[in-house]
Amino acid sequence: MIEESEEHQAIVAQTAQWLEEVVIGFNFCPFARREFDSGRVRYRVVDGRKIKPLIAALLEELHLLDGHEEVETTLLIFSNGMGDFYDYLGFLELAQLALEDVGYEGVFQLASFHPEYVFEGEDFDDASNYTNRSPLPMIHLIRETSIERAVAAHRDVDSIPERNQKLAREKGAKFWQTFLSK
């Protein structure tokens, strides 16, 4: 069992609030509410900056998810590492390779969130980036079967990213900066 410090508890609370108010509240992910409301989202706070222990934590979470169907998904939150977005992207590539190396390709998928998230080809200040900006750097570990079920149940899943970016731009970067700083 992982011991939760007060700092970790505060990080989890902040992340859960972001998930509820931003991701669910603005419907950035139409599939998140059900899992959030049913308590099937796991939050794992990871300290440190060294790659090997961070990859080890990722692999532990993948193994946990694999053995516990009652846990739908994990948000792996980096409390004091991965602050630089481009270092984070490099780590994300290593995380994907680790997932593949242990045979979880096609079983789990990694989604990325970061406080400085920038979509390729977008300016840093473009409001659309806020669809993937989070309080702290994190990786969302998602079951492929869940994605398949969600895609089958949603009439136009391909429109979600465009709709999200449009909404984010309509609100504007200042709105998101103010909203996320409260």
The pLDDT confidence band at residue 3, using thresholds 50, 70 and 90, is low
- Sign, CA torsion 107/113/114/118: positive
pLDDT of residue 2: 53
pLDDT at 1 over 80: no
pLDDT in tens, 41-94: 999 999 999 999 999 999 999 999 999 999 999 999 999 989 999 999 999 999
Rounded CA separation 20/14 (Å):
10
Locate 7 and state its tokens: 């700092």
Contact 71, 143 (CB under 8 A): no
Mean pLDDT of the chain: 94
Rounded CA separation 182/160 (Å):
26
Strands 73-78 and 41-46: parallel
DSSP-assigned letter for residue 140 = E
In this prediction the pTM is 0.94
pLDDT at 132 over 90: yes
Contacts of 64 (CB under 8 A, 6+ apart): 42, 71, 74
pLDDT in tens, 81-100: 899 999 999 999 999 999 99
Contact 132, 112 (CB under 8 A): yes
Contact 110, 140 (CB under 8 A): yes
Nearest in space to 161 (alpha carbons), one of 41, 30, 60: 30
pLDDT at 174 over 50: yes
Could you give the 3-state DSSP secondary structure of residue 105? strand
Rounded CA separation 67/83 (Å):
31
pLDDT of residue 154: 81
Contact 77, 138 (CB under 8 A): yes
pLDDT in tens, 100-126: 999 999 999 999 999 999 999 999 999
pLDDT at 24 over 80: yes
The whole-number average pLDDT for the span 158-179 is 95
The whole-number average pLDDT for the span 162-179 is 95
Share of the chain above pLDDT 90, in %: 87
Tell which phi-psi region holds residue 36, choosing left (phi > 0), alpha (psi between -120 and 50) or beta. Answer: alpha
